[in-house]
Amino acid sequence: MNNMRRPNRGPAKALLIGGAAPDAERLAARLGTEAQVICLSADRAAGDAVRQAIRACLPDARVAVMLGDPALLVHKVSGPFDVILDAHRGRAPRHDRLRALLAEGGELHG
């Protein structure tokens, strides 16, 4: 993952696919304080953990969590996203789909 910070261009829209609290913290570090984040989590415990991690870093962020198989939920979201972090383990290649969800100049990690 690129460790460069995203320039603050106002509220960013971000997507976290799978992952845990450390992934959410890495994503939050790239976002502005009022970011909008959609998290695709396998279960409620994982979803709660990523929501809490993002809110700990960005208290004013708007965080939505979708529960289910993160690989399948990718097809239920629409962009554009400024930052996408694909942390879903055992994933099938989906870089083309994720690139299509990126805003111009957006960042894809994972």
Let me know: does 4 contact 29? Beta carbons within 8 Å: no
Residue 97 domain boundaries:
13-109
* Residue 2 maps to a domain: no
Q: What's the half-sphere exposure (Cβ side, CA atoms, 13 Å) at 107?
A: 18
- Can you tell me whether residue 34 is helix, strand or coil? coil
pLDDT in tens, 95-110: 788 999 999 999 998 7
Number of structural domains, the chain?
1
* Residue 20 maps to a domain: yes
**How far is it, in rounded angstroms, from Cα 104 to Cα 61?**
22
* Residue 81 maps to a domain: yes
* Residue 6 maps to a domain: no
CATH number of domain containing 86: 3.40.50.150
- Sequence-distant (≥ 6) Cβ neighbours of residue 3 within 8 angstroms: none
Q: What percent of the chain has pLDDT over 70?
A: 86
Q: What percent of the chain has pLDDT over 90?
A: 68
* Residue 57 maps to a domain: yes
Find the radius of gyration of the CA atoms of the chain. 12
